[in-house]
Structure 1
């Protein structure tokens, strides 16, 4: 079997259904193999940029809890691809990047798009090793299966993450033999069982505590058994707090759900963590700056903490008050459920009232307003008109910060935001990866600012080609809103390089990519118009949709660095 065919056959066995990417001279053998041997079980998805392909693979892996696969040719294609793979590395997402290279005999000899590292060429191997768990340059048939298997295992085992294989053009046709049994056996291995002693110590500590709290990170979704984690929280009634990347990992309407913590956390959540909780149980979170809120100072002050993580080294808070429980979070909670059967624990009534940051407009930016509709009001209208089942994908910026803070996630929806590298434009391509492979009736909704849409917005054409029921909501303030607020706060309102002198008509732009029978488009300046647009779209035939919301005066987003002791809070959401 040729190497290109071996890739396709192995990916089919792993139930990988999509290969995201763009063809080119040094990757075309792989696409030909998909054409010949994919059998509808593995199909190519043509993105509009290689960065978009990597974002699609990343979001597909996050949402569907499986390996995402993307590919690119050499040179500029490879450089575009690594932008997205860097996000996967930072956020520990299992992605396999297959990267074509010039023919091996031309490496270092002036090949077109040479990346051998010789002369003035890019050193592809060194570059990819900095952004992956494992990277290899394919050279011989004898090494192939060992390198391919290791790439897959590294991506899917332990703390997951991306791997990359650099494949010279001539090597795709190299004969490598059939798939060895040991390769399949390695890929079927379960995570190692966590130590019972540490889990029992945690359960005993739980019985001694008066007000424990569970803090869920994105490792919950990627664990062996996320349902066991949620079931334990439900059975025990322990208060649950979620980080921005994990806000859909526990029912937001549950009586023991407190809300979100971290950079966009609720004031009431942070107060509960500081003033009431006496035991923190961290579940699948590294507690980076975007997630920790007041936890760092509380732990350093002596708050008892248990950290459940498959990779303890990923946790950014190191303290003598933190006890590590090393292992897959789902497997740890399977054992906690067994302990719960023999010695039940039940949390008492929770003294808690949810409070949000009260929206406030930014002084000095009124002249940018395109309507009177505030971002907080728009988020509220959208929240009341969400699909019953599907996915939410949020982009970096004010719209995401406000949505994370003010809105809940419906019970049958996922929520994804890329906070590793925090690149703008992730959501447009990511939503395609989320929607593909979802059951019939599933719908995806995207929260994205106008600035982010201008970066990767032509992936809308990919959604149109695939006829995906994705609604792209553009919050249009004709500028980089988060940057404007920062310059107002930190630079005495000296605004520079933030706004567009030529406003963009996004519905018109969208209509240039697809006709009336391919794309729905709408525009809203008021709450009434927005509500009608939401109803019109979801009562429609299920095409992709683009909804532009022209925003009024800019609001300060509920972003922790922008808040202070004078910031007002409220127990009532804006209407």
Structure 2
């Protein structure tokens, strides 16, 4: 058995049936081994598209995402996607080819120090230069990527190792190979800390749960919902925590932070006990950390010791497996927690949720993006659609105005904020969930970063719906330049972008364009009912902003906002190259 054959066999042994990649010289033996192996390889049209697709596959399914690339530029093109997985704790295995071991260090053709380049953006990295080391390293990598706090692991394999024959003694060892002594989150429950946490919550008059991406990653969403139901605790979520508690839940106050809801940010600033579950207190969530939740005692639950008290000192820390901790906490709280203590607090939170909610009554004939996304969300409720976002204004509008019942249905580049993520992530999610409706919401800036993956959609005849919000601007940068740089607009004009409907047609993807609110209902129905990939191009006002906004360095209570009914620019509709009647 060659090293390349063993690699594919090991992937199959770990129930990996789909990989994403792009071939090249130093990875050719692996591509030879893929033929007839039963592992489906998806040829993306750029390595960054492949790693983002593997990321979307993993986030939407909870399974390991796998991407493959060659040495040199193939490997370097993966780095952004690997960093994205690291920032958002996504279980990802990146396999790269390397020049032959005797050429490493000689500046050989397409040689790059992939191991060294990757070290700051991986959970762990391996360079395999001996066939005898491949079984241990590969099996460790697969387990590491999925255990504890998930993350990306890279295995860089020299070409001669891929081609070498596995020694008989090594093959015999492989049959019983089990990774050992790897760190896990099954630490002993700290009963004293658990008791302290239950006491803090029992004595609290204004408790609040702050749920992050760790809730969904640990498959603890149902337990979190049970806790909220049983003890009636208002809850806010991070961007990655959206769906950890269903958006429709009455005690879900929405996302907190820079573009969070007013009800969520108000609750955080007023609470007296803050239960942080699987969140890292990111600056976009907390605003000025010194002013964040100023009156609150903090209980922090996480599987990663490094996150607890990293930014905000935890009064009580609960380290370990999230489901176990939530179960034990509910049991401990059931003996002393009284709903009545926080009755007025709950009433105020729910009143704020109703009175400070978003408005959708923009009085103009053009398309108001929040209203469009709200309508899309309502039409998707029965479908349990998976939505992958790019990065920018549209990403925040999705977080604010669409509802999700599972964090695996909302795919967004959170920590890294990588434009170009949405289309390939949706592609990967569709391969993982072929029977679900999969949508990507993108902008006219982001879509251009990986638009070549339209060819991948067409090649594999998979139905991904692309909602493209086009304001002919790099919208979020323009908004910040407008607010914080004295309207000195620099390099944000995208009015010379190509005709996106024609581009879609050139790739063989159905497409149409709309620019009036009266067209929304019919267009969305056609968009969702299509049995093939479909791009719906939507012209929106170039001056529309995302509100509310907490300015950088300010407290979450210092948000600024603009009512769409009072916007001086909201009657303008941008001129687009595609006429209103454009259709398939």
Which residue of 2 is the match for residue 544 of structure 1? Answer: 533
1:326 aligns with 2:323: no
Q: Distance in 2 between matches of 1:413 and 1:36?
A: 31
Maintained 8 Å contact 2:242/2:407: no
Which residue of 2 is the match for residue 428 of structure 1? Answer: 423
Q: 1:200-349 counterparts in 2 under 5 A?
A: 200-275=195-270, 277-293=271-287, 297-299=291-293, 301-315=294-308, 317-339=310-332, 346=339, 349=343
1:166 aligns with 2:156: yes
Which residue of 1 is the match for residue 575 of structure 2? Answer: none
Which residue of 1 is the match for residue 579 of structure 2? Answer: none
Maintained 8 Å contact 1:296/1:317: no
Seen in structure 2, the aligned counterparts of structure 1 residues 129 and 208 have a Cα distance that, compared at 3 Å, is same
Q: CA deviation at 1:438?
A: 1.5
Deviations 1:32-83 (A, max 9, x none): 222232x2xx311111110011111112222211211111001111110111
Q: CA deviation at 1:177?
A: 1.4
Q: Distance in 1 between matches of 2:234 and 2:564?
A: 21
Deviations 1:279-331 (A, max 9, x none): 100000001112224775244x4520100011131257544453211112122
Which residue of 2 is the match for residue 365 of structure 1? Answer: none
Q: Distance in 2 between matches of 1:294 and 1:190?
A: 31
Which of 521, 526, 532 matches 2:516? 526
TM-score (norm: length of structure 1): 0.88
SS at match of 1:228: helix
1:554 aligns with 2:562: no
Q: 1:101-180 counterparts in 2 under 5 A?
A: 101-115=98-112, 123-174=113-164, 175=166, 176-177=170-171, 179-180=174-175
Q: 1:507-526 counterparts in 2 under 5 A?
A: 507-514=501-508, 519-526=509-516
Maintained 8 Å contact 2:242/2:406: no
Which residue of 1 is the match for residue 577 of structure 2? Answer: none
Q: CA deviation at 1:360?
A: 12
Maintained 8 Å contact 1:356/1:406: no
Gaps of 5+ in 2: 571-584
Q: Distance in 2 between matches of 1:73 and 1:554?
A: 43
Q: Distance in 1 between matches of 2:220 and 2:66?
A: 23
Q: Distance in 1 between matches of 2:281 and 2:61?
A: 23
Which of 456, 463, 479 matches 1:462? 456
Q: CA deviation at 1:501?
A: 4.7
TM-score (norm: length of structure 2): 0.86
Q: CA deviation at 1:9?
A: 2.1
Gaps of 5+ in 1: 116-122, 362-368
1:85 aligns with 2:79: no
Aligned-residue RMSD, C-alpha: 2.8
Which deviates the most, 72-81 or 559-568? 559-568
Which deviates the most, 456-465 or 309-318? 309-318
Q: CA deviation at 1:215?
A: 1.0
Q: Distance in 2 between matches of 1:567 and 1:464?
A: 42
Maintained 8 Å contact 1:401/1:557: yes
Which residue of 1 is the match for residue 66 of structure 2? Answer: 69
Which deviates the most, 334-343 or 158-167? 334-343
Q: Distance in 2 between matches of 1:193 and 1:173?
A: 45
Seen in structure 2, the aligned counterparts of structure 1 residues 296 and 146 have a Cα distance that, compared at 3 Å, is farther
Which residue of 2 is the match for residue 31 of structure 1? Answer: 31
Maintained 8 Å contact 1:91/1:420: yes
Seen in structure 2, the aligned counterparts of structure 1 residues 316 and 26 have a Cα distance that, compared at 3 Å, is farther
Which of 35, 49, 53 matches 1:52? 49
SS at match of 2:54: helix
Q: Distance in 1 between matches of 2:309 and 2:392?
A: 24
Deviations 1:327-346 (A, max 9, x none): 12122112224435666654
Seen in structure 2, the aligned counterparts of structure 1 residues 411 and 157 have a Cα distance that, compared at 3 Å, is closer
Which residue of 1 is the match for residue 370 of structure 2? Answer: 376
SS at match of 2:454: helix
SS at match of 1:475: strand
Which residue of 1 is the match for residue 490 of structure 2? Answer: 496
Which residue of 2 is the match for residue 479 of structure 1? Answer: 473
Which residue of 1 is the match for residue 581 of structure 2? Answer: none
Q: Distance in 1 between matches of 2:308 and 2:257?
A: 15
Q: Distance in 2 between matches of 1:80 and 1:273?
A: 40
